[in-house]
Each structure stands twice: as structure tokens, then as C-alpha cells.
């Protein structure tokens, strides 16, 4: 499968993701009062069907917090958390998972993490971008990821995903972090990096 991006471009995007998720992990750490580790991020350009498969088993239940990116680059930030881990994070914030505020607590985690990532991205590239308010839902992983990718599918055949993993130390609790720029968004990103 042709990926249409060069190794150099993917390396640069990976480095962006690295700095973005580093900033996001610091924010999450401050919020939860725990150390947060980050994995080495991946930058993958995959055909849509494979991109969905790469995210994990399609029918697996997952809690997703989604934020849109608007401004000079359009795209979506998707935070994927196993439901048990979402419950654990609620408790770290002092909210019981079945409490009426649990969803907004998770939304707030998504907001802090997503916004710090997006701000880091804006700072590095000089792009004028900002996040939209978060939306939280628990459903089939495949349905959530495919619905996000559909927004980018209109003009291209390949989805670019920047994927990092945040791990809350001592709690065995992880957030998978996906940044999916719309097709035009990737071009803007690469041109800002001088790699278009």
C-alpha cells in the first residue's frame, strides 16, 4: 500500500507527537497527582480499513473522549480509555464512576490532555488552532474510530494517525491518544514544518 508520506515527513510528525504527548502527560500528571509515562509515539499513514484495525478489536468496549480541532488545521483528537481505566481515573479525581459527574470528569481529563497537546502543536508550528469542547461516550471501538476517520475520508484514501500512549504509574491505567488531521490538515502541518 502506498502511504504517500515520506519517512522524513513521518519522522517529523512523530517528533511533533512526542512533544505534544509530553506536554499532555505533564498536564495529566498535575491533574491526577500521579506520575504519567509516555510511550514512543507512532506516526502511521494507513488505508482507512487498516487504520481502524490498527486501533484494536472493532467490537471491544471503549470509552472515548473526542475533541475537534478548528482553525488553520482541521482535525480530531481522540482519547481512548478502557472502561475500567476510565473508572479508575474518575476515582483519582474523587468522583465515583456511576456518579452523574463521571462523564464530565472524563470530559475534563480529555479537555486538559487534548488542549495541552493541541497548544503544544500550535506553539511548535505557529498554527492558529484551538480545540472544540469534549464529548464523551462508551461504545464499540471500531464504530468510534471509523466515525472519526470518516471525516477525513472524503478527499483521500489514507488516514494519518499520530498515536501515543499515556500510562498512569502505579495504577495500571492507560490512555491511548490519537490525533487525526483532516486531509487538508496534514498538508498544512507538513508545510509548516517545511516538509510539504
Partner 1 sequence: MGASETMVRMGELAVSSVPGHVLVSLGLGSCIGLALLDRKMGVAGLAHIVLPQSQGHGGENSRKFADFAVPELVSELEGIGARKIRLEAVLVGGASMFAVASSSLEVGQRNEASVRELLKAMRIPVKATATGGNKGRTIRVDVSTAAVTVREAGGKDTELLAGSRVLEAVAA
> What residues line the site for partner 1 (CB under 8 A)?
47-49, 52-53, 58-59, 61, 64, 66, 68, 76, 132-133, 135, 137-144, 146-151, 153-155, 157
Select 32 or 51, whichever has its Cβ closest to partner 1: 51
Q: Are strands 42-47 and 129-131 parallel, antiparallel or unpaired?
A: unpaired
Select 32 or 177, whichever has its Cβ closest to partner 1: 177
Q: Are 26 and 127 in contact (CB under 8 A)?
A: no
Select 36 or 118, whichever has its Cβ closest to partner 1: 118
Residue 81: phi and psi, rounded to 5, are: -130, 130
Select 43 or 148, whichever has its Cβ closest to partner 1: 148
Nearest to 194 by CA among 50, 6, 67, 4: 6
For the CB of residue 168, give the shortest distance to partner 1 in the complex, in Å: 24
For the CB of residue 108, give the shortest distance to partner 1 in the complex, in Å: 15
For the CB of residue 59, give the shortest distance to partner 1 in the complex, in Å: 5
Residue 84: which residues within 8 A CB-CB, separation 6 or more? none
Q: Are 116 and 72 in contact (CB under 8 A)?
A: no
Count how many residues are written for the chain.
196
For the CB of residue 176, give the shortest distance to partner 1 in the complex, in Å: 16
Amino acid at each position: 500500500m502506498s502511504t504517500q508520506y515520506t519517512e522524513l515527513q513521518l519522522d517529523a510528525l512523530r517528533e511533533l507527537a512526542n512533544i505534544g504527548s509530553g506536554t499532555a502527560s505533564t498536564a495529566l500528571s498535575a491533574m491526577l497527582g500521579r506520575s504519567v509515562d509516555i510511550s514512543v509515539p507512532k506516526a502511521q499513514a494507513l488505508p482507512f480499513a487498516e487504520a481502524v484495525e490498527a486501533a484494536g478489536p472493532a467490537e471491544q468496549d471503549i470509552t472515548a473522549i473526542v475533541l475537534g480541532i478548528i482553525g488553520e488545521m482541521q482535525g480530531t483528537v481522540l482519547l481512548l480509555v478502557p472502561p475500567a481505566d476510565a473508572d479508575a481515573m474518575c476515582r483519582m479525581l474523587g468522583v465515583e464512576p456511576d456518579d452523574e459527574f463521571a462523564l464530565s470528569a472524563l470530559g475534563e481529563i480529555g479537555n486538559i490532555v487534548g488542549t495541552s497537546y493541541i497548544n503544544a502543536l500550535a506553539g511548535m508550528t505557529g498554527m492558529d488552532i484551538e480545540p472544540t469542547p469534549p464529548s464523551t461516550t462508551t461504545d464499540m471501538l471500531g464504530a468510534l474510530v471509523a466515525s472519526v476517520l470518516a471525516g477525513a475520508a472524503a478527499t483521500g484514501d489514507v488516514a494519518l494517525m499520530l498515536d501515543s500512549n499515556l500510562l498512569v504509574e502505579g495504577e495500571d491505567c492507560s490512555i491511548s491518544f490519537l490525533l487525526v488531521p483532516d486531509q487538508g490538515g496534514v498538508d498544512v502541518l507538513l508545510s509548516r514544518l517545511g516538509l510539504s
